[in-house]
């Protein structure tokens, strides 16, 4: 059988591999995505979404399992006029470069994985103190310590409690698909700018590596966004200072109250979650991120067997959708928290329910990936132990 050929011009045909190479070389980076959906890894989807959100600066340092994001930004962000990619000498240097870029008013980001995020915590605390926006991506892996490169959810406490020193929090999103990685990257930049608070995408090694169809809902801005309060020279105005230290406790107290009021506004206006088959559920599973996808598979099988089980999935991990979860306790008092750790989000689940429900837990730490069949057995056992029908 002769090789398949593709006609690119009226008088020229070539083999399929040559045609593909010619097509790819002819396309500019802006034209790579001309169809509604494209197949991409989670790491690459974050990079593309960040570019389309107007990210001007990326500073990173290699670590598995997020290296593809750094590679994507090296290849694509640097081609955009006015944008900067730097592979820093360390994670500490990278977050402080984000700090400096954000001072000038541009959108900046960094990414890493669990131990690398630990090294960034001082810089994130400094950004919070200076009321600076910026995006941090954590494609988490097994721990503690250097751990493993397998997917895990053991960074929940670190992410949602600030992570560094001082009374501060970061806006934290917990995506569960490649599409959500793209959508929430854009939203993270928007909310970070709106509230002048650093934002974080808390993914994991599985989400970063998997490939799924994704649709990008925003085009890269023709003009890169610059905040009005950025330090870009004091011509025509008094000088402004951005600093983290003050010898006046009253001044520092007011800063903390200012941040706290913004956290309250986030809780009131910006929380998001997913309710899946919860209307008639007698047992509700709480899970976030990739664990929620595993839970959905188990819940679908449980439903097929006649068990009334549903899923509550927080999408904003901070602020946590407390009221939305508490509402579910009006119809059932049985909850099962499922995480790929030893139990961290369960603290927020219990705090939200305020004693209105019983909360059981099942988790696998260290990078072990539980299966939906395994979790179905846990659901079934608890369901019948509680006498549900």
The reported pLDDT for the residue numbered 19 is 63
Closest residue by Cα to residue 310 from 289, 286, 341, 338: 286
Task: Specify whether 245 is located in the same domain as 137.
Answer: yes
- The CATH number assigned to the domain holding 60 equals 3.40.50.970
In a domain, 1, yes or no: no
Q: Are residues 179 and 310 in the same domain?
A: no
The whole model's pTM is what? Answer: 0.89
Predicted confidence (pLDDT) per residue in 230-264, tens digit: 998 888 888 888 888 899 999 999 999 999 999 99
Domain end position, chosen among 270, 288, 321: 270
Residue 295 is predicted with a pLDDT of: 98
- Rounded to an integer, what distance in angstroms lies between the CA atom of residue 210 and that of residue 41? 5
40 and 168 share one domain: yes
Tell whether 223 and 328 lie within a shared domain. no
Q: pLDDT tens across 145-155, in order?
A: 999 999 999 99
Q: What is the count of structural domains for the chain?
A: 2
State pLDDT tens for residues 168-199: 999 999 999 999 999 999 999 999 999 999 99
Q: Are residues 265 and 277 in the same domain?
A: no
Residue 287 is assigned to a structural domain of this protein: yes
Do 235 and 94 reside in the same domain of the chain?
Answer: yes
State which residues form the domain around 331: 273-385
Cα 188 to chain centroid distance, Å, stands at 8
Domain boundary among 238, 270, 302: 270
Same domain? 180 vs 292: no
Residue 10: is its pLDDT beyond 50?
Answer: no
**Residue 226 lies inside a defined structural domain of this protein:** yes
- Quick one: 118 and 213 in the same domain? yes
* Residues across the chain: 389
**Statement: residue 75 has pLDDT above 90:** yes
Report in angstroms the alpha-carbon separations of 298 from 273, 302, 307, 318, 372.
Answer: 19, 6, 11, 26, 5
Residue 94: inside a domain: yes
Residues 309, 165, single domain; the answer is no
pLDDT in tens, 18-43: 665 566 555 544 445 555 799 999 99
Query: Does one domain contain both 190 and 286?
Result: no
The residue from 227, 250, 270 where one domain ends is: 270
């Amino acid at each position: 059988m002769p090789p398949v050929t593709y006609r690119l011009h009226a008088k020229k045909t070539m083999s399929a591999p040559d045609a593909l190479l010619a097509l790819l070389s002819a396309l500019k980076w802006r034209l790579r995505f001309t169809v509604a959906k494209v197949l991409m890894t989670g790491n690459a989807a974050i990079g593309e979404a960040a570019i389309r959100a107007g990210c001007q600066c990326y500073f990173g340092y290699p670590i598995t399992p997020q290296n593809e994001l750094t590679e994507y930004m090296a290849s694509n962000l640097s081609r955009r006029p006015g944008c900067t990619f730097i592979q820093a000498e360390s994670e500490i240097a990278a977050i402080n470069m984000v700090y400096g870029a954000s001072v000038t008013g541009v959108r900046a980001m960094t990414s890493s994985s669990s131990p690398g995020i630990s090294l960034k915590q001082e810089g994130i605390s400094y950004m919070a103190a200076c009321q600076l926006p910026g995006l941090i991506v954590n494609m988490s892996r097994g721990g503690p310590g250097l751990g493993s490169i397998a997917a895990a959810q053991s960074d929940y406490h670190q992410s949602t409690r600030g992570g560094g020193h001082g009374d501060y929090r970061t806006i934290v999103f917990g995506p569960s698909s490649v599409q959500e990685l793209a959508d929430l990257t854009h939203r993270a930049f928007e909310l970070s700018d709106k509230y002048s608070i650093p934002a974080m995408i808390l993914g994991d090694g599985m989400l970063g590596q998997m490939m799924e169809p994704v649709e990008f809902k925003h085009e890269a801005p023709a003009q890169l966004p610059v905040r009005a309060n950025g330090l870009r020279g004091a011509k025509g105005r008094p000088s402004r200072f951005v600093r983290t230290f003050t010898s006046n406790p009253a001044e520092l107290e007011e800063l903390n109250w200012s941040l706290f009021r913004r956290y309250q506004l986030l809780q009131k206006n910006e929380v998001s979650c997913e309710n899946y088959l919860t209307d008639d559920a007698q047992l509700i599973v709480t899970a976030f991120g990739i664990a929620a996808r595993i839970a959905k598979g188990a819940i679908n099988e449980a439903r097929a067997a006649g068990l009334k089980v549903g899923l509550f999935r927080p999408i904003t991990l901070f602020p946590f959708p407390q009221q939305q979860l508490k509402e579910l306790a009006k119809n059932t008092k049985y909850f099962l928290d499922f995480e790929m750790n030893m139990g961290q989000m369960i603290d927020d689940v219990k705090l939200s329910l305020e004693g209105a429900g019983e909360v059981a837990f099942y988790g696998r730490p260290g990078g072990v990936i539980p299966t939906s069949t395994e979790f179905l057995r846990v659901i079934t056992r608890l369901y019948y132990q509680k006498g549900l029908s």
